[in-house]
Amino acid sequence: MAFPPAFLDELAARNPIEEVVGQYVSLKRSGANMFGLCPFHGEKTASFSVAPDKGIYYCFGCHKGGNAVNFMMEIEGLSYPDAVRSLAKRAGLEVPDDEQYQSKYRQQERLWALHKEAARFFHAKLQAPEGAAALQYALGRGMPKSTIINFGIGYAPDTWSSLVDYLRKKGYTDQELRDSGLVTVSKKNGNLFDRFRDRLMFPIIDVRGNVIGFGGRIMKKDDNAAKYLNSPETLIFNKRKNLFGLNVAKKTKLPYMILVEGYMDAIALHQYGFDCAVASLGTSLTEEHAVLLSRYTENVVLIYDGDEAGQRAAQRAIPMLEKAGLSIKVLQLKDAKDPDEYLKKFGADKFQLLLNDSSNRVEYQLNAIRKKYDLGLDDQRVKFIAEAAEFVSTLTNAVQREIYGTRAAEAAGISFEAMKIEVNKAYKRRIAREKKKQERLDLAPAANLQPKTRQFRYDNVRSAMAEETVLSMVLKSAALLDQTALLKPEHFSSELLGRVYGQFAQRHKLGLEVNLSGLELSGDEMSHIAGIAQRQTGPINERALEDCVRTILSEYRKRHVSSEEDIMALREKMKERKGIRQ
């Protein structure tokens, strides 16, 4: 939907960018701008900037940027119309309606409500006679009734359409049931059946408190059915972007979060007082999960199963968590296969001691390398030394390299001096590779001027640099558009920059404020324009503006003007324009 420009201006005025962003990011003022840790990628040094005077944000690390609407789209995963609605609701503004406007937000609201009803249904069935066996199972697994209530645990009856019938009576259509992922559709006749049958049900709740899906554990042993079954991905459920238990764990007072593999482990930890536990949703940890965690903590304790598959999963998770700026410890359980079993055997106090003694990720990874080799064999020791030296060389801190180099030397039965030589050689090789890569970049200055996002590559860098400067200057002073009236969007070498210039010129013509809030752009396009606005921070220079206009027109002539008459005519037009000197 194309919202009226005047409405978008009012929306921007009522939702100051620093207040909108400040709900999610801790910001500190530095001069005219404010800075904080980027919520879209992990970092330890703040590269995320907010410019209140421009109404924009921009991250110099991941290059995401835009206005308040774009921020809500990115942080909450909303469509453009839904982000506008969200900000309008925040500011108490009425959104102009359009008969053709079909917002996904309305569908989402219906699906959230449907899932809430389903959660009530499952929870009630667990307390009913038909859920007696499932309730006994839950109690037998050590879940008190308080835990069952707190996590909304329920039971899906062993019937074909109990949930379908219940939700239909509540007014939900068959299409909404299909969209929910809670039903299966018969290939023969199209009839709807319950997806979850005879399963202990765990509601999956997002950080805003909405029920978005379910996980179900089968009650009767069935070799043809999965032990655990999750909701499929839907409009409201993306397993790569949600973590089980985070809606509760985000409130923890503990200075870390515990990441485990399964629902039962997370619930057990909460029962025993570790209210910081979360679990991935039937999938390996993703970068989205890591960034999500980094919004609520700086430290993560990783507890994965001790089998080979669990250790491989831990090794994959470590670099993703580190990339998100998180400090990582790894807890390896002894005498139990998972946290649930350990807590039942030994209790919370012993588990706390394990947590206190958990190894940092470097110790864990070095130990994992050692386990790969038989250090009683000389050829295996040589391979271990080579791999350990390569790993230790990646540590950025010299003290760390010395400490862990010493441990690797002790494990291999060689002197620290010999190990230090190998580490230094590996370190120098890596630095040389990185230096060579940087030199290649330095020798290609035109490439350095290209946008960070490949989809916006400039065909004519000279013209595009001038176009960026023009946009930046008119954002600072819209009156300059009177001096650039000779420029048309088609003169720009970059279609995106020309389109933005055209929208600026149109807003100026209508007497509207020239800013980024009224632009009709995709998220990536807005990030690129916000980046230009944040990078170009110099004062307004009218002579520089004239030079930029001249460059843009000159490059346009090279691309499109073929005859001498065309060139002469264009020159005459330029001479006639006030403020453009030839």
pLDDT at 579 over 60: no
pLDDT at 14 over 70: yes
Token pair for 486? 């000779």
Residue position matching structure tokens 């040589």: 382
pLDDT band at 16 (very low <50, low <70, confident <90, very high): very high
Q: What local confidence, expressed as pLDDT, does residue 221 receive?
A: 81
pLDDT tens track for 325-357: 889 999 988 889 899 999 999 999 999 999 988
Cα separation of 324 and 298, whole Å?
9
Cα separation of 102 and 122, whole Å?
31
Q: Look at 510 and 302; give whichever has higher pLDDT.
A: 302
**Average pLDDT of the residues of the chain:** 88
CA torsion angle 530 531 532 537 (round to 10): 100
Residue 292's nearest CA partner among 315, 326, 327, 267 is 326
Q: What is the mean pLDDT of residues 183-205?
A: 95
CA torsion angle 4 5 11 15 (round to 10): 150
| Measured CA angle at 516 (ends 514, 518), to 5 deg | 75
pLDDT band at 373 (very low <50, low <70, confident <90, very high): very high
pLDDT at 103 over 60: no
Q: Write down the H helix ranges in 480-541.
A: 495-509, 523-535
pLDDT tens track for 422-473: 999 999 998 888 888 766 655 555 555 666 666 678 888 889 999 999 999 9
Q: What local confidence, expressed as pLDDT, does residue 284 receive?
A: 85
pLDDT tens track for 392-432: 998 878 888 999 999 999 999 999 999 999 999 999 998 88
Element spanning 11, H or E = helix 5-14
Cα separation of 484 and 480, whole Å?
7
Q: What is the mean pLDDT of residues 100-126?
A: 85
- Helix, strand, coil shares, percent, the chain, to 5: 55, 10, 35
Residues in contact with 303: Cβ distance below 8 Å, sequence separation at least 6, in sequence order: 258, 259, 260, 265, 330, 331, 333, 339
pLDDT at 514 over 60: yes
pLDDT at 313 over 80: yes
Q: What is the mean pLDDT of residues 227-255?
A: 93
Handedness of CA 414, 419, 421, 426 (dihedral sign): positive
pLDDT band at 580 (very low <50, low <70, confident <90, very high): very low
Q: What local confidence, expressed as pLDDT, does residue 450 receive?
A: 65
pLDDT at 364 over 50: yes
Element spanning 22, H or E = helix 17-22
**In the chain, pLDDT over 90 holds for what percent of residues?**
54
Residues in contact with 489: Cβ distance below 8 Å, sequence separation at least 6, in sequence order: 498, 499, 501, 502, 505
Average the pLDDT over each of 256-270, 505-519, 542-556 and give the range with the smallest value: 505-519
pLDDT tens track for 269-283: 999 999 999 999 877
CA 159 to chain centre: 39
Cα separation of 350 and 339, whole Å?
12
Token pair for 250? 């985000």
Q: Write down the H helix ranges in 413-456.
A: 416-442, 445-448
pLDDT at 80 over 90: no
Q: What local confidence, expressed as pLDDT, does residue 573 receive?
A: 61
pLDDT band at 571 (very low <50, low <70, confident <90, very high): low
The contacts found for 137-141 with CB under 8 angstroms, 24 or more apart, are: 137/200, 137/219, 138/200, 141/264, 141/340
CB burial of residue 283 (10 Å; 0-12, 13-18, 19+): exposed
For residues 446 and 457, the answer to whether their CB atoms sit within 8 Å is: no
Residue 329's nearest CA partner among 360, 292, 363 is 360
Amino acid at 200: L
For residues 479 and 513, the answer to whether their CB atoms sit within 8 Å is: no
Residues linked to residue 302 through DSSP beta bridges, in sequence order: 259, 330
pLDDT at 100 over 50: no
pLDDT at 99 over 70: no
Cα separation of 515 and 504, whole Å?
8
Q: What is the mean pLDDT of residues 184-213?
A: 94
Q: What local confidence, expressed as pLDDT, does residue 448 receive?
A: 56
pLDDT at 71 over 80: yes
Residues in contact with 227: Cβ distance below 8 Å, sequence separation at least 6, in sequence order: 217, 218
Residue 177's nearest CA partner among 104, 230, 117 is 117
Amino acid at 385: I
